[in-house]
Amino acid sequence: MELTTVWFGLIAVLWIGYFCLEGFDFGVGMLLPVLARDDTERRVLINTIGPLWDGNEVWVLVAGGATFAAFPEWYATLFSGFYLPLLLILLALIVRGLAFEYRAKRDEDRWRRRWDTAIVVGSVVPSLLWGVAFANLLRGVPIDADKEYVGGFFDLLSPYALLGGVTTLLLFLTHGALFIALKTDGDIRHRARDLGVRVGVAAAVAAVAFLAWTQGLTGSAGSAVLFVLAALALVAGLAVATRGREGWAFLGTFVAIALAVAGLFTALFPDVMPSSLDPAWSLTTTNASATSYTLTVMTWVAVLFTPIVLAYQGWTYWVFRSRISTRHIPTDPGTSSSPAPQPVS
């Protein structure tokens, strides 16, 4: 197997990890004003992802860095053509990160409400725009013979691309709601599980429509199998959620997102950025790649360090596996004494 194909697959894995892990982060952020009835419950929701969200963002940083090193032509054309949406995503992620860090700096309701709004906006914008961006990669964008993007911002807002954005938004909402149900106890747990099932039905409809449209545009036999399996995993997750099995339900949405993203990259291959003007002008894994020497060095670095990163992140999730509820939140923010969280069952 050529190293260009290997690195295309590795970049796909990085995006799968990002959407599966950061996806529930975004969902929790978007559901902050929906599920929480007071500040204590909002603190519970934020605490479910407090130890995890910044580690989850590492996946997109590594994906961007790997794209830059392995496929510099793809990186250059992507970031020039998608400059505005990617800038909006970056700003949203910055504001969202600041909100998590600064929300508790003052004991004022207005201060906390403003940062809560920042968390919501910082979660909605990436959830929508990532779907729009990936849909455009699959549909194809105006790239000329010099491998340069020659379209405008509104060329990216086709009905297909907008459906992609709505699909990722709804999937992340469902994923986040089921994560909250898995990580909390009491009333929040039940409200989150019920909401996850309701939103999940809408997500399933949108996902089936988007994946079927994608299959019709550029799909292959491999992508068709992955799309069908993704749909089945999502339906199965929603089915077990109605029976109160939050762990299996969350696993269902996790697997559904992973298979759907894998299917999208399978449908895209061997292109990395198709041209809607002329297929001969498309960027592929061959004409957009770095040198063989660069890819070889990157491969050895990945082999050495990837297991360490995965082991550390897995350990983090294990340490913070317990459920939390309002009884674990001290009334006084400066008080640390509270009952010990119970392990997830």
pLDDT at 28 over 80: yes
For 164-211, write each residue's pLDDT tens digit.
Answer: 999 999 999 999 999 999 999 889 999 999 999 999 999 999 999 999
Instruction: Give Cα 278 distance to the centre of its chain.
Output: 31
For 323-333, write each residue's pLDDT tens digit.
Answer: 988 887 776 55
At 64, list the tokens. Answer: 């961007």
pLDDT at 35 over 60: yes
**pTM of the predicted model as reported, rounded to 2 decimal places:** 0.91
Cα→Cα distances 258→156, 181, 226, Å: 24, 20, 9
At 95, list the tokens. Answer: 């504001």
Mean pLDDT of the chain: 90
pLDDT at 7 over 80: yes
Domain ranges of the chain: 3-321
Mean pLDDT of 35-45: 90
Query: Do 221 and 269 meet the contact criterion of CB atoms below 8 Å apart?
Result: no
Measured between alpha carbons, how far is 156 from 276 in angstroms, rounded to an integer?
A: 12
Q: Count the neighbouring beta carbons within 10 Å of the beta carbon of residue 335.
A: 9
Give the pLDDT of residue 331. Answer: 66
Measured between alpha carbons, how far is 192 from 37 in angstroms, rounded to an integer?
A: 12
Q: Count the neighbouring beta carbons within 10 Å of the beta carbon of residue 326.
A: 16
Give the pLDDT of residue 51. Answer: 87
Query: Do 9 and 300 meet the contact criterion of CB atoms below 8 Å apart?
Result: no
Helix axes 109-139, 83-102, angle to 10 degrees: 150
At 337, list the tokens. Answer: 């004494």
pLDDT at 338 over 50: no
Query: Do 269 and 285 meet the contact criterion of CB atoms below 8 Å apart?
Result: yes
Per CATH, which fold does 3-321 belong to? Formate dehydrogenase/DMSO reductase fold (1.20.1630)
Give the residue from 223, 233, 229 showing the smallest Cα distance to 263: 223
For 262-291, write each residue's pLDDT tens digit.
Answer: 999 999 999 999 998 889 999 999 999 999
Q: Is 133 helix (H, G, I), strand (E, B) or coil?
A: helix
For 81-117, write each residue's pLDDT tens digit.
Answer: 899 999 999 999 999 999 999 998 888 889 999 999 9
Give the residue from 30, 22, 10 showing the smallest Cα distance to 57: 22
Question: Which of the 8 DSSP states describes residue 283?
Answer: E
